[in-house]
Amino acid sequence: MTGRCNQSMKSSQKIAVIGAGSWGTALAGVLSGKGLTTSLWGHNPDFVELLRRENENKKYLPGFSFPPNLSLSSDLVTTLQGSSTVCMVVPSHGFRTVFSRIAPLLAKGTLVISAVKGIENESLMTMTQVMTEILGAELQTRDISLAVLSGPSFAKEVALGMPTAVTIGCDNIEKAQELQRIFGTERFRVYASRDVIGLEISAALKNIVAIAAGISDGIGYGLNSRAALITRGLAEIKRLGVTMGADPVTFFGLSGLGDLVLTCTGDLSRNRTVGLKLGQGKRLSAILDEMEMVAEGVKTTISVYDLAGRLQVDMPILEQVYQILYQDKACSVAVMDLLNREMRIE
């Protein structure tokens, strides 16, 4: 990870990255590799001490040494002290708990960016909506800006310095452009957007379609089947997103089509891996027991199933994935049910 980001950005600015999984570690490496003072927080003190001792994250992102200006901590006060930008990279099911602890510690004018691809089960909120609810009136009185980072970006490839492009969205485009400058490097290209909800819906729902694509591959169907799932999956993502007020153009960008293609076809995709094993006949509980890292699409399927029902949005691929994951429906039966739906005009 050291030396992978060549674009220098020496600054007294401090960045806090919350979450020491693979993606949080990779983003902390990008930021500290630019010369930015960066602090990476993990919730488990013993794990953080192990990271410090080994000088790398062997569990989630092995083979990449930490840059010298990257500090590690399990204490939120220490991590957030002096931080003008906070990057949230914790799983969606633990996001509210962690951010509730962070909110009172945020300095006035802080930029908070979510790099989490999920929707909360109970509230059916995106992560920026969760943060807005927690902060309440203090969002305005403390001049805190909320943003989202999304796009086709496997952590390992980012850590390797392979060219990657993502999008950062914020209602205030000037803040999005400020974050664009903070995160952007020669190998990590960042685009700016105003469409926060579109980016978040794209990021969350592509994981569900990736499970479906994995199931298709696991059963042994071919590239035609996968292409159909990606294309019709994108139609479902767009349908829900537009209903929620997103810009339709967003779904054909990096966070939409770009991330969808990556997650449905890449061997590093945890969600595709879940689907692949389901299609091969393994049970969900056994698959999850084998995994070190979280496959967000498994929990997000519940959220989006409920959300689509509430908004009365037709999402047949989502419905079949939900029935496979939570109603023990056979994968082969789900595929046939999709294929035998009433013919429609595209």
Give pLDDT, residue 1.
56
Return the minimum-mean-pLDDT range out of 78-87, 97-106, 331-340.
331-340
- 23's CB contacts (< 8 A; 6+ apart) are 89, 115, 153, 155
Tell me which H or E stretch contains 197: helix 196-219
Rounded CA separation 91/255 (Å): 18
Alpha helices in 126-195 (DSSP H): 127-135, 138-141, 155-159, 173-183
Give pLDDT, residue 7.
41
Rounded CA separation 30/91 (Å): 20
State pTM to two decimals. Answer: 0.93
Give pLDDT, residue 339.
86
Average pLDDT, stretch 118-137? 97
Is residue 10 very low, low, confident or very high in pLDDT (cuts 50, 70, 90)?
A: very low
Active site residue 206: yes
Q: For residue 250, give the nearest of 302, 193, 333, 189 by alpha carbon.
A: 193
Rounded CA separation 274/276 (Å): 5
pLDDT of 43 higher than 80: yes
Of 6 and 223, which is predicted with more confidence?
223
Of 344 and 277, which is predicted with more confidence?
277
Cα 13 to Cα 39, 89, 185: the distances in Å are 11, 19, 16
Tell me which H or E stretch contains 86: strand 83-88
- Which tokens is 75 given? 């204490």
Q: For residue 168, give the nearest of 260, 297, 255 by alpha carbon.
A: 255
**In the CATH hierarchy, which top-level class contains the domain 206-339?**
mainly alpha
Is residue 243 very low, low, confident or very high in pLDDT (cuts 50, 70, 90)?
A: very high
Dihedral angle of Cα 246, 251, 252, 258, to the nearest 10 degrees:
140
Rounded CA separation 331/278 (Å): 7
Average pLDDT, stretch 293-318? 94
- 159 neighbors 135 (Cβ within 8 angstroms): no
Give pLDDT, residue 5.
41
Q: Which fold has domain 11-194?
A: Rossmann fold (3.40.50)
Token pair 């209903």 is found at 243
Give pLDDT, residue 287.
95
Average pLDDT, stretch 148-174? 98
Cα 298 to Cα 105, 114, 147, 187: the distances in Å are 32, 19, 24, 31
Give pLDDT, residue 12.
62
Of 5 and 101, which is predicted with more confidence?
101
Q: What SS3 state is found at 113?
A: strand
Domain boundary assignment for the chain:
11-194, 206-339
Give pLDDT, residue 6.
40
- Which tokens is 109 given? 């004018």
Is residue 2 very low, low, confident or very high in pLDDT (cuts 50, 70, 90)?
A: very low
- Active site residue: 206, 238, 277, 299, which one? 206
- 74 CB-contact burial (10 Å; exposed 0-12 / middle 13-18 / buried 19+): middle
Rounded CA separation 57/48 (Å): 9
pLDDT of 96 higher than 70: yes
Average pLDDT, stretch 154-158? 97
Give pLDDT, residue 245.
98
189-202 per-position pLDDT tens digit: 999 999 999 999 99
Of all residues in the chain, what percent carry a pLDDT higher than 90?
Answer: 91
pLDDT of 294 higher than 80: no
Is residue 13 very low, low, confident or very high in pLDDT (cuts 50, 70, 90)?
A: confident
